Amino acid sequence: MIVNKPLGNGSGHLSRVTRETNARRILAIDYGRRKIGLALSDELGLTARPLATILRVNRQTDLRLLRRICREHSVARVIVGHPLRLSGEAGEMAVEAARFAARLKKETGIETELVDERLTSWQAGEMLAEAPSSSRRRKQGSLDDVAAAILLREYLDRRDHRTGETITETR
C-alpha cells in the first residue's frame, strides 16, 4: 500500500514503459521493516525528489509493486540504503537491506547497488523540522521518502555525469 503519493496515469493502471527508451532514472530505496521510502532522479540523473512511501505487505507483494514502479518510471538503476552503524559495521538491518537488494535485482533484472545511508533519516527529520508551518501535514507523515531523496541526492553528487560512474575520494 502506498501511503502518500499516487502513482500511475490516473486511470488506476500503471503506464507501459519499455526498457528500450534508454532509461536513465535512478530509484533510491530507504528500506525498513514496516515501510519503504522511495525517491526518483530525473532522466539526466541531476535531481532527486521524494516519490512515495510504501507500507510493507509481504516480500512478494512489495517486490511486485517495486517492479511496476521501476517499469512505470523507466528506472535503469536502483540504490538501496545500507544502514551501517556509525562504526561502519553491518548490523542486523544492514544484512536485511543487502538481502532485499539482492532479491530486488533478481526480480527486476535492474542493476542494484547498496549505498551507505548513515544519518539520512536524521537529516530528513531535521530538514522537515525546519520547514515552514504550512508543511505541518508533511511533518506528521513519513520521513522515509525524504530520507530516500537525501540518499539519492548524495549519490548523484558523487557521480560523474558523463560516465555515470561513482567518483571516490582519495585521501
pLDDT tens for 1-37 read 454 444 444 444 444 433 344 558 999 999 999 999 9
pLDDT tens for 78-115 read 999 999 877 878 889 999 999 999 999 999 999 999 99
Domain boundaries, the chain: 23-157
Predicted TM-score of the model (pTM)? 0.75
Q: How far apart are CA 158 and CA 169, in angstroms?
A: 9
Give the number of C-alpha atoms closer than 13 A to the C-alpha of residue 48, restricted to the C-beta side: 22
Q: How far apart are CA 113 and CA 58, in angstroms?
A: 22
What CATH code would you report for 23-157? 3.30.420.140
